[in-house]
A and B are shown apart, each in its own frame.
Chain A
Amino acid sequence: MTDIDPGAKAPASSERVGPEPETPLLAAIDPASFDPSSLPRSWTILTPSGASRPGAGTAATRRLLFAWSRRELRSRYRESGFRGLWNLVQPVTMLIIYSFVFTQIFGADGGGLPYLSMAWAGIVVWQFVQQGVQMGMWSFLYEAGTLPKVWYPRIVIPMTPATAALMDLAVGLVLIVAVALVQGIRPSMALIALPLPLLLIVIWVYGVSLVVAPAAVFIRDLTTIVPLMMRLGFFTSPVMYPVSQVPEQFRWLFDLNPVSVAITGVRDTMLAGQWPQWQLLFVHIIGATVLLGAGVFYLRRVEHRLVDAL
Chain B
Amino acid sequence: MSDTIVEGADGEHTYDAPDLNAPPTLVVPEVAAINPPPWNGPAAIILSDACKWYDERKRGRMLSAIPVERVGPPPVNAVRALEAIDLAIGEGQSVGVIGNNGAGKSTLLRLVAGVTSPSRGMVAVNGPVASMIELGLGFHPEMTGTENLHFAAGLLGMSPTDLRLRWDDIVDFSGIPHALDQQVKHYSSGMVARLGFALASHSDAEIILIDEVLSVGDFDFQRRSLERIMNLNREGRTTIIVTHNLDALPPLCHRIVQLEKGRVVADGTPRAVIPEYVAAEVKKYAATGSDGVYIRDVSIDPPAVAPSGSFTVRGVVETTEPMPGCNIVVRVGFGAALMAWAGESDKQSLERLADEPIDINLKQPGVWKVEATVRNIPFFPGDYAAGLAVLEPDRSEIMSSVVPLDVLGPREDWKSIRLALDENNEKLEHEVARGPTSSEGRPTGASSS
Contact = CB atoms under 8 A, between A and B. Distances in A.
Asked whether A and B interact, the reply is yes
A248 interface: no
Contact of A25 (B43, B121, B133, B143): B43
A64 B152 CA distance: 10
Interface stretch (B21-29, B155-163, B268-276, B426-434): B155-163
Interface stretch (B58-66, B347-355, B402-410): B58-66
B48 A44 contact: no
A50 interface: yes
B110 interface: yes
A290 interface: no
A308 B54 contact: yes
B142 A79 contact: yes
B166 to A, nearest CB: 11
Interface stretch (B84-92, B280-288, B388-396): B84-92
B118 A305 contact: no
The residue in B89, B111, B113 that gathers the most chain A C-beta atoms within 10 A of its C-beta is B113
Interface in A28-63: 29, 31-34, 36, 39-40, 42-51, 53, 56, 60, 63
Nearest to B72: A48
Given A31-B88, A215-B65, A63 B122 contact: no
A48 B316 CA distance: 48
B150 A31 contact: no
B423 interface: no
B122 A308 contact: no
B244 interface: no
B86 A78 contact: no
Interface in A167-190: none
Contacts of A42: 126-127
A188 to B, nearest CB: 43
B62 A219 contact: yes
Interface in B286-340: none
Interface stretch (B33-41, B223-231, B364-372, B439-447): B33-41
A23 interface: yes
Given A50-B117, A149-B131, A308 B126 contact: no
Nearest to B150: A67
Contacts of B218: none
Contact of B140 (A53, A56, A71, A215): A71
A107 interface: no
A31 B84 CA distance: 11
Interface stretch (A81-89, A140-148, A201-209, A260-268): A140-148
A253 interface: no
B125 A149 contact: no
Contacts of A51: 114, 117
Contacts of A32: 48-49, 86
Contacts of A214: 65
Nearest to B207: A44
Interface string A261-283: 00000000000000000000000
A110 B287 CA distance: 82
Interface stretch (A121-129, A191-199, A296-304): A296-304
Contacts of A44: 114, 124-126
Given A1-B159, A46-B123, A79-B142, A304 B117 contact: yes
A152 B157 contact: yes
The residue in A33, A51, A71, A79 that gathers the most chain B C-beta atoms within 10 A of its C-beta is A71
Nearest to A50: B117
Given A44-B124, A47-B118, A64-B155, A307 B110 contact: yes
Nearest to B65: A218
B76 interface: no
B115 A151 contact: yes
A34 B111 contact: no
Contact of B64 (A26, A43, A148, A302): A302
A145 B137 CA distance: 8
A244 interface: no
A229 interface: no
What are the 6 closest A-B residue pairs judged by CB atoms, nearest first?
A: A301-B67, A218-B65, A26-B90, A31-B86, A49-B69, A34-B48
Given A25-B42, A68-B151, A151-B113, 18 more contacts: A2-B161, A29-B43, A29-B88, A31-B86, A31-B87, A45-B122, A45-B124, A46-B123, A46-B125, A48-B117, A67-B154, A75-B143, A149-B131, A149-B137, A152-B154, A302-B67, A307-B116, A309-B61
28 contacts: A2-B204, A23-B43, A25-B43, A26-B39, A29-B88, A34-B88, A40-B126, A43-B124, A43-B126, A44-B126, A45-B124, A46-B111, A51-B117, A63-B160, A64-B154, A71-B143, A75-B142, A146-B155, A148-B116, A149-B133, A150-B129, A152-B155, A218-B64, A218-B65, A219-B62, A301-B67, A305-B117, A308-B116
